[in-house]
Amino acid sequence: MTTQRWIAWSVFTVWLVWLHALHAFLARDGSRWAPDLGLVFVFSVLARLESKDLPWLLVCALVARASLAVEPATALAAGLTGMTLAVLAARGMLELTAPAWRALCCAAAVFAFDAWLVLVARVRGSGGEPFASALLGLVPVAISTGLVSLALGPALAHLPGLTPLRSRKW
């Protein structure tokens, strides 16, 4: 891997930590409508990334998310891996750089990832509300994240320092 790509992955991780911190700031009062900006960013970059770079994306995303999360790192790793593999499968069938498909798939991916984290919390015994209502509470996050993906997805994928990672041409 070239020096440019190492720097680009480092910059990607820094951008991702900042977006996770911004998400935490927006959701600090318990708002369920705060979009998951970090996953929008991961999704936007993943839509334009070569498949061989998936391990680097997973490592950087896990480091960034785990640095600010209360969930166990193994649960985050499993959820991120599952989400990215699902996005790669969807990318083979759909044009994920198209606005409507990008927003719909991003909302579904965020819902699935957050549902996984709710399930992990239930298994660990830290869930308070019923599982069905906890899943219903994820719908606003998925909707707001889909709308943010619709509006900001391409801009996030073109943040400064990420040019060496955008090798996938659509």
Question: Which DSSP string do the residues of 135-146 spell out, in sequence order?
Answer: HHTTHHHHHHHH
Residue 69 one-letter amino acid: A
Residue 137: phi and psi, rounded to 5, are -70, -15
> What pLDDT sits at residue 170?
41
66's CB contacts (< 8 A; 6+ apart) are: 73, 76
Asked if residue 167 has pLDDT above 70, the reply is: no
pTM of the full structure: 0.89
Instruction: Dig out the tokens for 12 from the structure.
Output: 């990607």
Element (H, E) at 163: none
The dihedral built from the CA positions of residue 71, 64, 50 and 107, taken in this order, carries a sign that is positive
Angstrom distances, CA of residue 64 to CA of 21, 57, 60, 139: 10, 11, 6, 24
| Rounded Cα gap, residues 7 and 92, in angstroms | 28
User: Which tens digit of pLDDT belongs to each residue from 111-165?
Assistant: 999 999 999 999 988 767 888 899 999 999 999 999 999 999 889 988 999 998 8
Residue 39: phi and psi, rounded to 5, are -70, -30
| Rounded Cα gap, residues 169 and 9, in angstroms | 19
> What pLDDT sits at residue 101?
87
> What pLDDT sits at residue 96?
76
> What pLDDT sits at residue 127?
66
More confident: 168 or 12: 12
